[in-house]
A and B are shown apart, each in its own frame.
Chain A
Amino acid sequence: MLVTKYVITSPESDILPSDIAMKIYGSGHKVNVKETCFGVVINGEEDVIAKLVKDIRMLDPPGIFIKDRGFPPGDPRRCRGRRGGGARPGFYMIESETKLLPMISRALAFEGDAPDVPDKEKPLHLKRLEEIIKEDLS
């Protein structure tokens, strides 16, 4: 079965989309590669892509992120060249998460003990709210 994956580089990674594309071309596997501004889109047989993904990750383990994609690269149903321009549906999610990638990359590369972060303040639990109401009204 043919599968498609995004290979996305962290903005702080030294690896360029062209480096990933060259790595894939050099591997000799029969896969389609499309370079984009944020990484590459690769399409090929499932087992070949799984092996390739492991090799690509080795270029920069904390700085390269992989995501599944439903449509093959250049698909006219999604390609903006056929849709009159604008960002492709789904790009906005990648764009939003890409802003977090430098932090996640640094966290993945960090080998010490992560500091404890206090939990964010959560809304009052419903049971506690009921108790407060009963106390005040009784």
Chain B
Amino acid sequence: MAKVIVYPPTSMILSDLVDRMGHKALVVPEAVRKLATANDIQSPPLNVTPEEPKKGLRYAAVDVPSGVRGRMALIGPIIEEAEAAIIVEDPGWLTGCAGCSRTNELVRLLIRTKGVPLLDLSYPNNDAEAKAFVKKIRAFLEGLK
């Protein structure tokens, strides 16, 4: 079982397909859960403490907007853990954790430069593309076993 990071990191379709094929999908909600449900909430309501921007500093300089560093505090450790990656081209409607274009550029760059097996795709627009989309993901994930 390989740890596969998916981009967009909040994608339901990608995380489901990875889990379905017997691997572990690395996604942002897991990182959010660790903060939001910790027993010792130090900084309510979301438990984002001064430590989070410091973690983000490992991936982005201090003059980079705090939104980027804050997001990288969640996504950066996931990228470090990844053993493989699936990147789906930005569909243009990403929101929330994945709603910052500059962070997304940095995330894609860090994944690509990490040197793990990588699958590049784009979201399907019709049935034929969807079949090819699922086929490529299935073949990629089976190759990781």
Chain A residues in contact with chain B, CB under 8 A?
2-4, 6, 8, 57, 65-72, 75, 77, 89-90, 92-94, 96-97, 100-101, 103-104, 106-108, 110, 114-117, 120
Contact = CB atoms under 8 A, between A and B. Distances in A.
A60 B28 CA distance: 26
Interface of B: 8, 10-13, 15-16, 19-20, 25, 27-33, 35-37, 45-46, 91, 93-96, 98, 122-124, 126-135
13 contacts: A67-B12, A77-B46, A93-B10, A93-B95, A94-B12, A96-B93, A100-B13, A100-B123, A103-B130, A104-B130, A107-B133, A114-B135, A116-B132
A71 B31 CA distance: 11
B13 A97 contact: yes
B135 A92 contact: no
A4 B33 contact: yes
B121 to A, nearest CB: 10
